[in-house]
Amino acid sequence: MFFIKKIFNRVQLITSALFYSLFIFTFSKKLTIPTGEQIDDLKHSGFFDNKNTIDVTKLYQDARLANKKHTEGNYKEATKIHQNILEEIYTFNNINESTWSPMFLSYYFGGFLGHRALIGVLLAAQKFGMVSPITRILPYSGEVNEQQLKILFDNNKDIEIVRSDSGHRFLEGPLNWHLSERLWMIKTNQGFLETQEFTDKVFRRLQELHINSVLELDYDYVFKSQQELEKLGLPKNQEFVALHVRKKTWNDFDVRQAKVEEYSASVKELLRLGYYVVQIGTDPQAPILSDKRVIIVQGDYDLPRFLTPYVLAKSKFLINTCSGPTYLAALFGTPVLQTNVIAFGKSAVTLSNNSIHIPKKMMYKGRELSLYELLSSPQGYSYKNIKFLNQSGFDLIENSSEEILNATKDILQLIQGDSVELSGMSAVKAIRENLQVPTNGNIAPSYIEKNESWIRT
């Protein structure tokens, strides 16, 4: 009996090794000999010896339902469904949640700038023990993705960026969801956490540990970026502020977009104070001002993508709308003024030191919702488009030029170490705690001062 079991184990080991080699082959087209640790990972993953059945169709349906509820603003319901899905997958594969860590990242992590920033948040969480330490593997496709991913993570030993030559979605089926970290739910030592709550907790912990930057740029990359920006008109050693205003020209109903002209007063104030402004973004948007001190690094091509990490890392601070650069800048320790924030309950995340937010006003039949009303309703967490909101009696009011200018002055004071009154934040904190809101980023003091009735319950 012992001899038969030994033969069985040997066959299983060879099968595991063969599977792993073929698995790696899909990435690199080069066979590598698997290590014992990697074979154990596959054996313990539950990929082999599954004797039960699971309703894959139902898992897909549940996932679609959760995504729909998330978009509509039913945050807690969506989170619970996502948790249940992953727990079911783990149970089906006989995986111990307390000891298992998925080594792969879903390909969605590499798709957009904000998603790539989440990789950095995840790696930071591994550093201080919120997530089990493990070398992650991220499959990607596309030359542009490769360039920016390598700029951000090539020097990090905790992640391996691998090109997937034969497709990069083979880990996306429900039966394999335990093998890769899901973008919408992160496995931590506190259980599964939705990404916004996870991100907020990580940045709060980084502040507690007095850790400023968690990403490091290669010296050669920094040097080349400085040279390119000098060619574009940015003097060497000149302080600058980064600006990104989201504007999707192919979608007139995106709640995250804003009018760039409302930022001109802030830009003029920054120029008056001696800063240059570097306007970034893949969205084709007109230069905010015709001035040699406004450097334009925009467009969906190689140079803007190459320079964006440098601009976010080296700027005095970032003025942004509700979009991906917010999170990447914060990982470099760059303060962020996030304007025109929507889905305020989950988008006003704790970020780097001195970061602040100002929301779009949510109106219902002509009346502004208070912060308490906003955070206790789906509208406080919803990304539904403008057309849908209007049909339901809601409307969004963008930040005015004055609000953005005042918030710009706020963040300048914070960065300079001047005393800034944050007394209104105690009322905001009480509302958030009462409603169990997942994010805790500071609101600009000037916004609270001008909108005192907004924070009254």
- Residue 359: its pLDDT value, please? 97
Q: What percent of the chain has pLDDT over 70?
A: 84
How far is it, in rounded angstroms, from Cα 169 to Cα 322?
A: 28
Asked if the structure places residue 32 within a domain, the reply is no
SS3 251: coil
Give residue 7's pLDDT band: very low, low, confident or very high (50, 70, 90).
low
SS3 242: strand
How far is it, in rounded angstroms, from Cα 231 to Cα 110?
A: 30
Judgement on whether residues 301 and 354 belong to the same structural domain of the protein: yes
Asked if the structure places residue 346 within a domain, the reply is yes
Judgement on whether residues 233 and 123 belong to the same structural domain of the protein: no
With beta carbons less than 8 A apart as the criterion, state whether 244 and 334 touch: no
Asked if the structure places residue 387 within a domain, the reply is yes
pLDDT digits (tens, 9 = 90+) for 260-289: 999 999 999 999 999 999 999 887 677 899
Judgement on whether residues 426 and 323 belong to the same structural domain of the protein: yes
**Which of 21-25, 348-352, 406-410 is the least confident region?**
21-25
- Residue 193: its pLDDT value, please? 95
- Residue 31: its pLDDT value, please? 43
Q: Which helix (H) or strand (E) holds 160?
A: strand 159-163
Give residue 21's pLDDT band: very low, low, confident or very high (50, 70, 90).
low
* 254 vs 27, higher pLDDT: 254
Residue entry with tokens 């084709």: 284
Asked if the structure places residue 31 within a domain, the reply is no
Asked if the structure places residue 38 within a domain, the reply is no
Asked if the structure places residue 17 within a domain, the reply is no
CA 274 to each of CA 178, 239, 240, 267, 335: distance values in angstroms, whole numbers, following the listed order: 52, 8, 9, 11, 18
DSSP annotation of 173: S
Judgement on whether residues 193 and 265 belong to the same structural domain of the protein: no
Judgement on whether residues 106 and 233 belong to the same structural domain of the protein: no
Using the predicted structure, report yes or no on whether residue 12 has a pLDDT greater than 80: no
Q: Which of 208, 240, 262 is the last residue of a domain?
A: 208
Judgement on whether residues 283 and 240 belong to the same structural domain of the protein: yes
Can you give the CATH number for the domain in which 307 is found?
3.40.50
**Which of 160-169, 313-322, 441-450 is the least confident region?**
160-169
Q: What percent of the chain has pLDDT over 90?
A: 63
Judgement on whether residues 246 and 99 belong to the same structural domain of the protein: no
Asked if the structure places residue 317 within a domain, the reply is yes
- Residue 29: its pLDDT value, please? 43
What is the distance in angstroms between the CA of the first residue and the CA of the last residue of the chain? 72
Judgement on whether residues 279 and 180 belong to the same structural domain of the protein: no
- Residue 28: its pLDDT value, please? 47
pLDDT digits (tens, 9 = 90+) for 77-107: 999 999 999 999 999 888 887 888 899 999 8
**Which of 218-227, 413-422, 431-440 is the least confident region?**
413-422
**Which of 9-23, 250-264, 351-365 is the least confident region?**
9-23
Judgement on whether residues 297 and 435 belong to the same structural domain of the protein: yes
Using the predicted structure, report yes or no on whether residue 1 has a pLDDT greater than 60: no
Average pLDDT on 392-418 reads 94
SS3 440: coil
Q: Which of 144, 176, 208 is the last residue of a domain?
A: 208
| Total number of domains in the chain | 2
CA-based nearest residue to 261, from 286, 284, 282: 286
User: Which domain range does residue 429 map to?
Assistant: 225-455
Judgement on whether residues 71 and 163 belong to the same structural domain of the protein: yes
Amino acid at 148: Q
Judgement on whether residues 166 and 305 belong to the same structural domain of the protein: no
pLDDT digits (tens, 9 = 90+) for 200-247: 999 999 999 999 999 999 999 999 999 999 999 999 999 999 999 988
DSSP annotation of 245: -
Average pLDDT on 345-350 reads 96
**Which of 165-169, 238-242, 329-333, 405-409 is the least confident region?**
165-169
Asked if the structure places residue 71 within a domain, the reply is yes
- Residue 144: its pLDDT value, please? 62
What's the mean per-residue pLDDT of the chain? Answer: 86
- Residue 175: its pLDDT value, please? 81
CA 22 to each of CA 8, 29, 260, 371: distance values in angstroms, whole numbers, following the listed order: 21, 9, 50, 54
Sign of CA dihedral 224, 230, 236, 241: negative
Q: Which residues pair with 244 in a beta bridge?
A: 320
With beta carbons less than 8 A apart as the criterion, state whether 258 and 339 touch: yes
- Residue 250: its pLDDT value, please? 55
- Residue 117: its pLDDT value, please? 96
- Residue 378: its pLDDT value, please? 94
pLDDT digits (tens, 9 = 90+) for 56-82: 899 999 999 999 999 999 999 999 999
Q: Which of 208, 237, 272 is the last residue of a domain?
A: 208
Give residue 146's pLDDT band: very low, low, confident or very high (50, 70, 90).
confident
Give residue 52's pLDDT band: very low, low, confident or very high (50, 70, 90).
low
Judgement on whether residues 341 and 404 belong to the same structural domain of the protein: yes
